[in-house]
């Protein structure tokens, strides 16, 4: 079914280790998907060079996300939490997936790649903390 050196990439989410009130079961389901990537990579390594990876984007503006209650506020907050103060774009996710599917990424296997424009390392951004401590300023 797969070429001997094929690449499989799944789309996860960057928030599988957080409790988001409006996502329901999405985080635990995606966490299970992430775990399966490792086991698939290990299993397939016994007879092929097929690689399995997951791309875990931060919050994106999509038609699917528009139906999540409170998503717009979370998205706008996440945009300010990125290091560049600009939201992650779907094209950036697509480019990362294309790279992982290409032979140029042949050394990457069984990985969960967080793609969030630096949001996951910027929770204590000085401006975000100031606004949280002084709402209305």
Q: Mind listing the pLDDT tens digit of every residue in the chain (137 residues)?
A: 788 889 999 999 887 766 666 667 788 888 899 999 999 999 999 999 999 999 999 999 998 888 888 889 989 999 999 999 999 999 999 999 999 999 999 999 999 999 999 999 998 899 999 988 987 76
Q: So what's the pLDDT on residue 29? A: 87
Interior angle at CA 127, CA 125 and CA 131, nearest 5: 120
Contact 96, 132 (CB under 8 A): no
Q: So what's the pLDDT on residue 58? A: 92
Contact 91, 136 (CB under 8 A): no
**Distance (Å, whole) CA 49 – CA 81:** 38
pTM: 0.88
Contact 122, 94 (CB under 8 A): no
Residue ranges of domains in the chain, CATH in brackets? 7-133 (3.40.50.720)
**Distance (Å, whole) CA 99 – CA 91:** 12
**Distance (Å, whole) CA 83 – CA 81:** 6
Any long-range contacts for 25-31 (C-beta under 8 Å, 24+ apart)?
30/56
């Amino acid at each position: 079914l797969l070429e001997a050196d094929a690449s499989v990439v799944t789309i996860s989410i960057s928030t599988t280790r957080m409790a988001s009130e409006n996502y329901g079961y999405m985080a635990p389901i995606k966490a299970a998907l992430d775990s399966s990537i490792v086991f698939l990579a290990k299993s397939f390594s016994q007879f092929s060079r097929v690689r399995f990876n997951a791309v875990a984007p931060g919050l994106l503006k999509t038609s699917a996300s528009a139906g999540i209650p409170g998503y717009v506020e979370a998205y706008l907050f996440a945009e300010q939490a990125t290091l560049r103060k600009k939201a992650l774009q779907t094209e950036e996710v697509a480019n990362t997936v294309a790279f992982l599917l290409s032979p140029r990424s042949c050394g990457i296997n069984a990985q969960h790649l967080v793609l969030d424009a630096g949001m996951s390392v910027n929770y204590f951004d000085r401006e975000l903390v100031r606004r949280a401590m002084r709402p209305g300023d």
